[in-house]
Amino acid sequence: MKIKEVIVVEGRDDTTKIKLAVDADTIETNGSAINKYTLTQIKHAQEKRGVIIFTDPDYPGERIRKIINEHVPGCKHAFLTQDKARAKNPHNKSLGIEHASIDDIRKALKDVHELAEPIQSEIGQEDIIQARLLGTNEARKRRERLGEILQIGHTNGKQLLKRLTIFQITKEQFDQAIIKLDQEEEDE
């Protein structure tokens, strides 16, 4: 699978894993130490070929994603869940793209999202509460699975509505994802 866009990752191990999964070029941010030179490279890549931001599903990865978005608008985004990015060795608690399977990386890169200017969402806070995505014991687990189903990444309760709006998830898409989530829970 050849990727036209340049993929922005955090480090060398991520680049190695990406290149095992797809034919693509990468830019490494060197973790959260992203600097002006790297941002200039990303901006140039965005102008010439487009960019897919593919950072780790953790706080530093989200921080890098936010910094790039502020400086280089119009990038696409690929996401992995924390489960798919977790090291398989039980003694290693690390989290990162480099730990994901080749298939999960390919799927994430196939299901990229483009951020749009926020618009008024059809989905409200009441929908989120009614879907048990806030204020219940299972809310975190349900948000994680919803992020996986909709390919919008993991969010906390405060970020969820904003992420749904930014990625222009329709009420119909949201409702279908909740139905799927409820059916999966019934089947457990």
Residue 97: pLDDT over 60: yes
Q: Which CATH architecture has domain 6-114?
A: 3-Layer(aba) Sandwich (3.40)
Spatial contact of 178 and 149, defined as CB atoms under 8 Å apart: no
Q: Whole-angstrom Cα distance, residue 62 to residue 10?
A: 11
Span 71-95, average pLDDT: 86
Q: Whole-angstrom Cα distance, residue 159 to residue 169?
A: 14
* Summary mean pLDDT of the chain: 89
3-class DSSP state for residue 26? strand
Nearest Cα to Cα of residue 52 among 8, 89, 20, 3: 8
* Residue 183 confidence class, pLDDT cut points 50, 70, 90: very high
User: Could you say which DSSP state residue 122 is in?
Assistant: S
Alpha-carbon distances, residue 113 vs 25, 32, 37, 74 (angstroms): 19, 22, 25, 10
Q: Phi and psi dihedrals of 23, rounded to 5?
A: -90, 105
Q: What percentage of the chain reaches a pLDDT higher than 90?
A: 57
* Residue 121 confidence class, pLDDT cut points 50, 70, 90: confident
11, HSE (Cβ side, Cα atoms, 13 Å): 13
- Find tokens 């973790």 and name the residue: 31
Q: What percentage of the chain reaches a pLDDT higher than 70?
A: 97
Q: Phi and psi dihedrals of 161, rounded to 5?
A: -60, -40
Q: Whole-angstrom Cα distance, residue 80 to residue 64?
A: 15
Domain(s) of CATH 3.40.1360.10: residues in the chain: 6-114
Residue 186: pLDDT over 60: yes
Nearest Cα to Cα of residue 79 among 93, 97, 101, 92: 97
